[in-house]
Amino acid sequence: MPETLGRRWPFKRSPTIVLACVALIIWTMFAGQWSDKGCDLFPQSYGLVISHVGGPDHYQGCEDELGDPTYTDNYRGWP
């Protein structure tokens, strides 16, 4: 039988690319939660996702100090 010389699905043999894309999407979702708490999206929110292993708790966030948002454990933006 002749071989089919058509296009192949590029991710069929490279699940690493798919896993990397999924990890980036999840990382961005958690960074968005930090951004909603007053932190800069890049690089501060992405860094906080790594240092705090996920999204913020209700008492964590960023508050403005001298024009720059700074991380605090006493975030007053929550009810």
pLDDT reported for residue 38: 93
Q: What pLDDT, on the 0 to 100 scale, is given for residue 13?
A: 61
| pLDDT tens per residue across span 22-50 | 999 999 999 999 999 999 999 999 999 99
Range 51-60 burial, b when 16+ CB lie within 10 A, else e: eeeebbeeeb
How high is the pLDDT of residue 15? 81
| Higher per-residue confidence, 2 vs 50 | 50
Q: What is the DSSP string of 4-48?
A: P-S---TTTT-HHHHHHHHHHHHHHHHHHHHHHTT--IIIIIHHH
